[in-house]
Amino acid sequence: MLKSEKRKIIFRRLDAELKPLGWKRICDSGHLPVYVFENSLYKVCFRTQFGRETVDLLTIELAIKEVESYISECIGETIWIPGSEILIDNKTKFRTTVKDRYDLSKCYNYVVETEDDINKVVDYFLDYLFGTAKKFVEACLYLPNIVREMDKHVRQEGAWMCAPHMYSGRIEVSGFYDGFFRGLIISKMCDEPNFKNKLNLVESEVNAPNADDYWGTSFRSDYEKLKQLLPTIEPKYSMDSPNEEAEMEKIRAMVAKNFTPISATTEKPKKKAAKKFVPTPPEQVNKELLALLDSAQGEKESLLSRIKSVFGSKAKEEEPSPQKQTIEIVGCYLDASLRNHGFYNVHRYKN
């Protein structure tokens, strides 16, 4: 199967699932297609790659706009991404805040030979996107969750930006030396008690003897801009907020709109058509009424006979008053006329 045929099948499947949810497939000259979803709060993407025999669908990356706006103040907007030779175009190439480190090896460097092979890869990836990736976005949009993951990283590796390939967690802070900046910005936004420790950690990296050789000469100058910016950042979250679950519920509801497959939405149950009222013909009502009255009379006589047998001849039959007879007849008539239309008599009061 030709590479062009593989691409066509994959893009047809992904477009059918994602475009109705607001995702866009973007491809600039010289770049492989990137699927992007963007709203006023965040931007999320995943990349595609195609080899001669293989197909790669990569894990998602998330840009939290509030965080990235601070990064832009430190290192500029339209520049090369630090530590790489990638120029930001804010279309297929843009800075991200965190990356998902989920093991998606079944979609990476996967050899496909038939259309069934391709469909297996796409099915597996969509399960990831609408399940694991969705939960990843939900978690990261609540910034204290990123701080907690950073602390796990620090305990294992000494810093949240050191040896990410050794880190066993799920959330990886994006970037080269700008990843240090993201950590400090997020920590400050969360009013984290350990902010000072994180600041000292970055200071030690900036002042290390080989800092310019390893991180580049712009690390020090960009960090000076960050130090001027940090005091202006107002905390937005708390690491021990009692409203955390309520905030997470709001985030889940927002994310679900663009991470829930159309096929999974449940249709609203159709309303039952109102039953048309058809009046019972008078002849049938009279017939049913007479039958009902005859039956009631028979039951009454049977009851009186049983009373007499128990109490003897002293039990006297009480003759109903004309008013009571009228009430009984009207009640029986209504019972016979309306019960076929769903009405029923709970009980009739004696008066």
Intervals of the chain under pLDDT 70: 28-31, 78-86, 108-110, 162-169, 263-279, 285, 289, 292-327, 330, 333, 336-337, 340, 344-351
Which of 203, 234, 198, 232 minimizes the C-alpha distance to 220? Answer: 203
Q: Is the dihedral of CA 140, 141, 145, 147 positive or negative?
A: positive
Q: Is the separation of the CB atoms in 58 and 49 below 8 Å?
A: yes
Q: Is the separation of the CB atoms in 256 and 129 below 8 Å?
A: no
pLDDT per position as a tens digit, 236-276: 999 999 999 999 999 999 999 999 987 655 444 455 555 66
DSSP 279: P
pTM higher than 0.85, yes or no?
A: no
With a CB cutoff of 8 Å and minimum separation 6, the contacts of 226 are 74, 181, 184, 185
Q: Is the separation of the CB atoms in 100 and 134 below 8 Å?
A: no
Q: Is 315 helix (H, G, I), strand (E, B) or coil?
A: coil
Report pLDDT for 268. Answer: 47
- What are the helix (H) ranges across 158-269? 178-189, 195-206, 211-215, 218-229, 244-256
What is the C-alpha separation between 182 and 97, in angstroms, rounded? 7
Report pLDDT for 315. Answer: 44
pLDDT per position as a tens digit, 162-174: 544 444 567 889 9
